[in-house]
Structure 1
Amino acid sequence: MNNLNFIDLFAGAGGLSEGFIRAGFEPIAHVEMNKDACDTLKTRTSFHYLKNSNRINEYHDYLKGKITRDDLWNKIPKHLIKSVINKEISAETLPFIFDIIDSELNGKEVDLIIGGPPCQAYSVAGRARKNMDDDPRNHLYKYYVKFLERYNPKMFVFENVPGILSANNGQYLDLIFNAVKEAGYELDKKVLNAKNFNVLQDRKRVIIIGWKKNLNLKYPDFEEVINQFEISKDLFSDLPKIKSGQGEWKETKYSKKTNHYLESTGIRNGIDFTTQHVSRFNNENDLEIYKIAVDKWVNDGKRLNYAELPKRLIKHSNTKSFTNRFQVVNHKGVSHTVVAHICADGHYYIHPDIEQNRSITVREAARIQSFPDDYFFESSRTTAFKQIGNAVPVLMAEGIAKKIKEMI
């Protein structure tokens, strides 16, 4: 049962994949169009190979900056690096992608296909900006179905934003369901929330699960976990205190011992350092707004209304909409949803500690998404934030994967 395998489509930085690996599944291939995300996947593939080969110290050397990324990648079999396929999925690229996956499979059957097409097209904000039918991202599900038809997996998991339920008055969801049924699958959907999988984040996602018609299965039941943990006390407490523009991209020592939440979730997983605990530099105007926002939230439990700031601090002409553009992460409970826009600025993710007076670091954002501390996001701070914001929380993915494993 430990050798159940999967193909990950629209893989991003690998949050969904990491959860399935933790549940005992083995990746055959990851397909992703973004180069930075693919580099992250290659680095994580190196981690798993070296860990399973009792050579994890060689991965730690990379995190500490002792060896280069190419040195790391050269330590693992070339076919594993090749199995991270940096291609946009299209009619033109399908034959190439199929060839690589076929060579990786080497005659084996596929147990599972996971992944969800880019969600911006289905999001409410995305729909406001584009004509739905003209956006090619709305039709990527057709390629997902082609993978189902070619590899005939026992089951699949399709993840997306809640906006997919109402896109084009629900017609896009109908198209997806009909196409999948024609490919020989039964399927069902639910809106699941990451906070019910021990993730310290309020993040709703539509999870569609399908199975071959002859398997006589049904959508699994997921228990709702009542979260007892808090961001400041449990998630951020052991990271060194830094101010705006400070931090280390590579090795960062913890300032405190681990705790029950970090230990039980595998976020702190055995080594005495982490990486990418780096915050953005902010100008004095923003930092003054941050202090007002934190004071208001921590002491009064109220969110900052941008239009109510002192006039000298207001730099945007629009004070009618997006009045919540400065928001503090909830220190006493779970965070609001981390989205890809975090790569543009950190105003929507202000650290709740007024002494630090900054937006959250790459590592703190990764922890909110329940990535383990040895997960390294490649290329730059901006690309790392984007990858994290687009990811499926690892603990949520693991919870889904465990149920899928039971069913298969």
Structure 2
Amino acid sequence: MPNFLDLFAGAGGLSEGFLRAGYKAIAHVEMDVAACYTLKTRMAYHWLEAHNQLDIYTQYLTRNISRNQFYEYIPQDILDSVLNYEISTETLPAIFEKVDALIGEESLDLIIGGPPCQAYSLAGRSRSETRMIGDQRNYLYRHYAEFLRRYHPRYFVFENVMGLLSAKDEDGTLHFDNMRALFKECGYSTEFRPLNASNFGVLQNRKRIILIGVRGEHRGFYPEIPEVHPNCLVNEIFCDLPTIPAGGGVVEPVPTKHYKGQYLYESGIKNYDTEPVTFHQARPHIAQDLEIYRIVVDTWNRFGTRVSYPDLPENLRTHQNTKSFLDRFKVVAGNLPYAQTIVAHIARDGHYFIHPDITQNRSLTPREAARIQTFPDNYYFESKKGVPSRTLAYKQIGNAVPVCLAYHIAMALINRFDEVN
């Protein structure tokens, strides 16, 4: 099966999809320390699964052994395949040295990943006084190109936000055009599609640019990715999880309720009926926010309409800005076929991700957000020091590529490798 290198890997949503499709991970490169531990733990999970030793993983999740003790069961080369580096001109030599050692005598088939999207996103540009012009994150694709030059993979998959298509450099040229021209200089033909995760088994409206490059001169090579539309609504994601109030729940594994549906199995989220979940822990909310949540959910449930911020009772409005961001409180509508886009801002507050069950009256837990992103229930989100962090879990989940989207891209591409010399 093809092997791959994952750049700007985050918590591994893109990688997990390719692993599920049968690809082999050579290495992951990621700058965030907590996300690197998440990747190490996930690679450890896959190694233990392959060797029928998942009882060790269970011991770790239930806190019977520490993270250090857990890692002692894992071959060092598995853990060392996760490289904690910020990709820059200064760090490239060290990264190349480590990747070279991990590849050994093999050749690299594929590079996947996309640089952080803040500089390209429409929201990021709207908040920036300079509209992100000149921001160094705009040019991380140049480092990506250095990996193409060094390893000459047969394909690469580059993921980013829709705003990439319109983001401009200081001279007025489009970053996307400059990027594709550079990839062509590296010897690659490129084609792209705007894909919405909701068309590929994800109960979430999440549009992304998926650019695929192939070594050499080719046209019309973009693989056909069959669409998958589950016959269910968003409530399916929540139906078997324990009912908890704001501030309730725990990070440690808790069993799920009996599940009679199909989606959670078909998407790879669940392995078996009452499989335990971690990070089903809700953040606490102040009384004022809880009252707003009740109004927002009740209005949606009764009338199917959203509540605009100026329409809230005056005593509940604390922001002076009533001209923009009027949908700052938003329920995740359980009676629709997809939810709104999960973003990293969920780590700051849950106002845009209110649970549809008014009796629970809270925002989503990390596990619920992870399910919307189609992470498996056995996926564990790490912190820097081994102490569980709900905030860091939210951040990693919000920044991730949905696993099911990645899987369908991977499956569509897997039979094309023999076509490239």
1:341 is aligned to 2:339: no
Per-residue CA shift, 1:295-330, capped at 9, x if unaligned?
Answer: 111111000111111111111121221110000001
Farther-moved stretch of structure 1 (78-87 vs 255-264): 255-264
- 1:273 is aligned to 276
* Offset of residue 134 of structure 1: 2.1
What is the Cα deviation at residue 133 of structure 1? 3.7
Which residue of 2 is the match for residue 387 of structure 1?
A: 396
| Aligned mates of 2:133, 2:219 — CA distance in 1 | 35
What residue number does 1:301 align with? 304
Aligned counterparts of 2:14 and 2:129: Cα–Cα separation in 1: 28
TM-score relative to the length of structure 2 = 0.94
Counterpart AA for 2:29: V
Could you say which residue in structure 2 is the equivalent of 1:254?
256
Q: Which amino acid aligns with 1:249?
A: V
Give the letter for the 2:369 counterpart.
Answer: A
Identify the range of structure 1 (131-140 vs 385-394) with the bigger mean alpha-carbon deviation: 131-140
Residue 378 of structure 1 is matched in structure 2 by 382
Conservation of the 8 A alpha-carbon contact between 1:191 and 1:204? yes
Q: 2-side partners of 1:64 and 1:284: how far apart? A: 33
Give the stretch that moved more between structures: 194-203 or 166-175: 166-175
Please tell me the residue identity of whatever aligns with 2:234. I
Match of residue 91 from structure 1: 89
CA shift at 1:225, angstroms?
3.0
The DSSP-based 3-state class of the residue aligned with 2:174 is helix
Report % sequence identity: 50
**3-state DSSP of counterpart to 1:140:** helix
1:309-348 maps to which residues of 2 (within 5 A)?
309-333=312-336, 334-348=338-352
Alignment partner, residue 160 of structure 2: 160
- Is the alpha carbon distance of 1:401 and 1:130 closer, same or farther for their aligned partners in structure 2, counting shifts above 3 Å? farther
2:265 paired with 1:263: yes
Q: Deviations over 1:232-287 (max 9, x none)?
A: 1x211000000000001011111223521111111011363111101110011000
Distance in 1 between residues matched to 2:149 and 2:249, nearest whole Å: 48
**What is the alpha-carbon distance in structure 1 between the residues aligned to residue 371 and residue 259 of structure 2?**
16
More displaced stretch, 67-76 vs 345-354: 67-76
Q: 1:395 to 1:26 in 2, by over 3 A?
A: same
Is contact 2:200–2:229 with CA below 8 Å preserved after alignment?
no
AA aligned opposite 1:404: L
Match of 2:232 in 1: 229
Q: Write out the 4+ residue segments of structure 1 that deviate beyond 6 Å after TM superposition.
A: none
Indicate how the Cα distance of structure 1 residues 157 and 170 shifts in structure 2: closer, same or farther if over 3 A, else same.
farther
Q: Counterparts of 1:191 and 1:214 in 2: how far apart (Å)?
A: 22
Query: Following superposition of structure 1 onto structure 2, how do residues 282-301 of structure 1 map, counting pairs within 5 Å?
Result: 282-301=285-304
RMSD: 1.3
Q: Distance in 2 between matches of 1:84 and 1:336?
A: 31
1:145, 1:179 within 8 Å by CA — same for their partners in 2? Answer: yes
**Equivalence for 1:119:** 117
Amino acid at match of 2:359: E
* C-alpha distance in 2 between matches for 1:406 and 1:290: 48
The answer to whether the Cα contact below 8 Å between 2:245 and 2:361 also exists between their aligned partners in 1 is: yes
Distance 1:226 1:20 in 2: 20
Q: Is the 8 A contact 1:343 1:383 kept in 2?
A: yes
SS at match of 1:353: coil
Superposed CA offset, 1:160-205 (max 9, x none):
0000001016610111000000101111111000011110000000
Partner of 2:142: 142
Matched residue, 2:386: none
Q: Distance in 1 between matches of 2:349 and 2:22?
A: 37
1:286, 1:381 → 2: CA distance? 19
Task: Give the secondary-structure state (helix, strand or coil) at the position aligned to 1:101.
Answer: helix
Question: Hey, what does 1:20 align to over in structure 2?
Answer: 18
- How far apart in 2 are the matches of 1:360 and 1:116? 27
Quote how far apart the aligned CAs of 1:130 are. 5.0
Residues in 2 aligned to 1:215 and 1:22: alpha-carbon distance in whole angstroms: 28
Matched, 1:350 2:350: no
Deviates more, 1:392-401 or 1:307-316: 307-316
Partner of 2:182: 179
Aligned partners of 2:230 and 2:263 also within 8 Å: no
Of residues 175, 181, 192 in structure 1, which corresponds to 2:195? Answer: 192
| Structure 2 unaligned spans of 5+ | 384-388
Q: Secondary structure at the match of 1:389?
A: helix
Partner-residue secondary structure (3-state), 2:374: coil
Whole-angstrom CA distance in 1 between matches of 2:306 and 2:84: 41
Q: Structure 1 residue 214: deviation in Å?
A: 5.4
| Whole-angstrom distance in 2 between the partners of 1:384 and 1:46 | 18
Residues 237, 226 of structure 1: CA spacing in aligned structure 2 closer, same or farther, 3 A cutoff? same
Q: Which amino acid aligns with 1:164?
A: L
Which blocks of at least 5 consecutive residues in structure 1 are unaligned? Answer: none
Q: Deviations over 1:3-49 (max 9, x none)?
A: x1000000000000000000010111100001111111011011011
Name the TM-score, length of structure 1 as normaliser: 0.97
1:204 is matched with which residue? Answer: 207
CA contact (8 A) 1:217 1:407 kept: no
Alignment coverage as a number of residue pairs: 405
- 1:304/1:116 CA distance change after superposition, 3 Å: same
Q: Is the Cα contact below 8 Å between 2:5 and 2:112 reproduced in 1? A: yes
Q: Which residue of the partner structure matches residue 59 of structure 1?
A: 57
